[in-house]
Chains A and B, each alone.
Chain A
């Protein structure tokens, strides 16, 4: 690292990768926190959001904002529909059955994506006639425009989710449903609406991550794997904690970027190495609680 820009660039690289993982990881947390279901189709739903953007891009070639809004709305609707037509049937069943259902959903989505959009590399930014110029930061480090937007979006999403869950009426209801669904139902909270909202928000945030990654560097079916790599970040932080997901993403992202300088091959498996280390030391995650472990 003889280049004087490198330490700052290193920091920027860590922030970008951590933001990617954090934006994806919050989707895992939202659903788990409310319904105790591990959504193993989250990577596929994220990818689906990016492909939806690609499709609506052809309708809104001259208006990228409209395309993004339309794609996000459709992604929200997908999340709600997944709950309504699939996961709703799992309510009251064993959690394991619900988790297996999400695995089946993921396989289905992967197949559908190839059937509908083919397997070739796609570029939503090109379809929307958007440039992705590098931005020079203080210290000489550089970041692409969409990576910068992703970092800002992650901050805004987490801020909004914290505020929503802390102060919002529906946010408080979501927390209540997550803590004690029976009591929440007895107090008149409609659990199906809460669960549907969690699925909708989770799919929305995942889709936003997928869209921004695709706008930055393109889109293929391998995006699913990125979704999977974010899963350890959520687990490290504690599956029921948004703050944990943020910190877990930072730990995984930092380890992954730094290991590029030791052995690049290790960077691929580092999320899972960090996860194993955490499971040995503190199985319930950094911000999770022991109580949650039994339910996992």
Chain B
């Protein structure tokens, strides 16, 4: 009997040992590295991985290395839940990163709340729980795109540059967040004196966008606004151009925009986004390029901005939490944090006790310039205070 008890105690001690013996920071990530959403989210995962590798090569944070444990959830809620359970109970992570679809949030949060470990949404859509004035104590978001504010920036720009009356149509993907944002945009457009003429909701796996583009064109808009995953945004504008529509098209500047604008070569295709494009060639952009090259990255560096920013947040939070750090210290650090985005965004990414989204959101507008054969900035940072 005694022997059994001793063996049991030894086994328990062995299981507890990794946590007690950790001489470095351990953070975990569950992300859509494969599956239907991987095109947008897998590069973000690679971005944060490269950032952490570079950080460790430079000595880590507070003299300690950072271990980033990556788990693929393929954007499936059940896999995300299993990943989080493993990261929290076996790996004892002090910070969890979610780079997946919003459908993974609920099962993940059930585990997170139990373990009281903070979550950073990176490249994934920000949930309402991070918004002021009642941000959840454990949830934080660094993702660039932002429902509500994106629409205000886009429609504000449209109003500013258009002399004639604006007849605007909307193209969303058949997912709740995209449809909801453009329903809001249609209402908001009316307050700006614009006339909404159509709203097409396009299913994600559509083999041919032309039927939807035909209906949009028939509504005779002079602007079309799309707030959707990039595939819907770009295929809709290409289908409209194929049909001979020559109005102006404006969409969210997802990270894919950098590589796609030179392919589409459309001077009336505007993209509005919170991240500076690599066309700006800032020192930080050059750092990302160098890290991607050194790390033999699978994805183009232009797709890694969200991941790189996530890395900046991790570094700043761990630095502030000090050593030794636990989940509570990291959560406290995140709740009062200013991250210098070093030119990747329009200003600092700042979180407070009541606002885990950001205190200010900034937007730039870009388009393709045929004469210069390059992406050009059409409008510099437009700031919005997040209340």
Tell me the A residues contacting B by CB distance below 8 Å: 1-3, 6, 9-10, 12-13, 16-17, 20-21, 110-111, 114, 118-121, 123, 126, 134, 142-144, 147, 213, 217-218, 220-223, 225-226, 229, 256-257, 260-261, 264-265, 267-268
Contact = CB atoms under 8 A, between A and B. Distances in A.
Contact of A265 (B201, B215, B235, B303): B201
A112 to B, nearest CB: 10
Contact of B38 (A10, A20, A119, A123): A119
Query: Which 7 pairs, one residue from A and one from B, show the smallest C-beta to C-beta distance?
Result: A119-B38, A268-B203, A225-B205, A134-B242, A114-B34, A226-B207, A13-B211
B114 interface: no
Contacts of A213: 207
Contacts of A143: 242
Contacts of B244: 134, 142
A123 B217 CA distance: 25
A256 B200 CA distance: 14
Contacts of B209: 217
B88 interface: no
Given A2-B220, A118-B299, A217 B201 contact: no
Interface string B44-86: 0000000000000000000000000000000000000000000
Contacts of A9: 214, 243
Given A119-B33, A119-B39, 7 more contacts: A13-B210, A20-B207, A20-B208, A119-B35, A213-B207, A225-B205, A264-B202
B215 A126 contact: no
A138 to B, nearest CB: 15
A43 to B, nearest CB: 10
Contact of A257 (B35, B211, B235, B238): B211
B174 interface: yes
Contact of B210 (A16, A114, A120, A218): A16
B43 interface: yes
A279 B231 CA distance: 34
B298 interface: yes
Nearest to A258: B211
Given A2-B218, A9-B214, A119-B34, A220 B208 contact: no
A110 to B, nearest CB: 8
A213 B174 CA distance: 21
A223 B39 CA distance: 13
Contacts of A126: 263
15 contacts: A2-B220, A16-B208, A114-B42, A118-B42, A118-B299, A120-B39, A142-B244, A144-B242, A218-B234, A220-B39, A221-B36, A221-B38, A222-B231, A226-B205, A229-B205
Contacts of B263: 123, 126
A3 to B, nearest CB: 5
Contacts of A229: 205, 207
A123 B259 CA distance: 11
B208 A17 contact: yes
Nearest to B34: A114
Interface centre among B33, B39, B235 (most CB of A within 10 A): B39
A220 B206 CA distance: 12
Contacts of A118: 42, 298-299
Classify the interface of chain A: helix, strand, loop or mixed: helix
Contacts of B200: 260, 264
A198 to B, nearest CB: 25
Contacts of B256: 120-121
A217 B205 CA distance: 12
The residue in A1, A13, A118, A221 that gathers the most chain B C-beta atoms within 10 A of its C-beta is A118
A217 B240 CA distance: 13
A10 B214 contact: yes
B121 interface: no
Contacts of B241: 134
B295 interface: no
B366 interface: no
A6 B216 CA distance: 11
Contacts of B215: 260-261
Contacts of B207: 17, 20-21, 213, 226, 229
Interface string B195-239: 000001111111111111011011010000000001100110010
Contacts of B206: 268
Contacts of A222: 36, 204-205, 231
A142 B211 CA distance: 12
Contacts of A121: 39, 230-231, 256, 260
Contacts of A223: 205
B214 A6 contact: yes
A21 B207 CA distance: 9
Contacts of B231: 121, 218, 220, 222
A79 B218 CA distance: 43
A17 B209 CA distance: 10
Contacts of A10: 211, 214
Contacts of A268: 174, 203, 205-206
A90 B322 CA distance: 60
Nearest to B72: A114
Contacts of A264: 174, 200-203, 212
A137 B341 CA distance: 51
A12 to B, nearest CB: 8
Contacts of B202: 264
B174 A265 contact: yes
Contacts of A261: 215
A134 B34 CA distance: 34
A217 B230 CA distance: 13
B208 A13 contact: yes
Interface string B16-42: 000000000000000001111011001
Contact of A6 (B201, B218, B230): B218
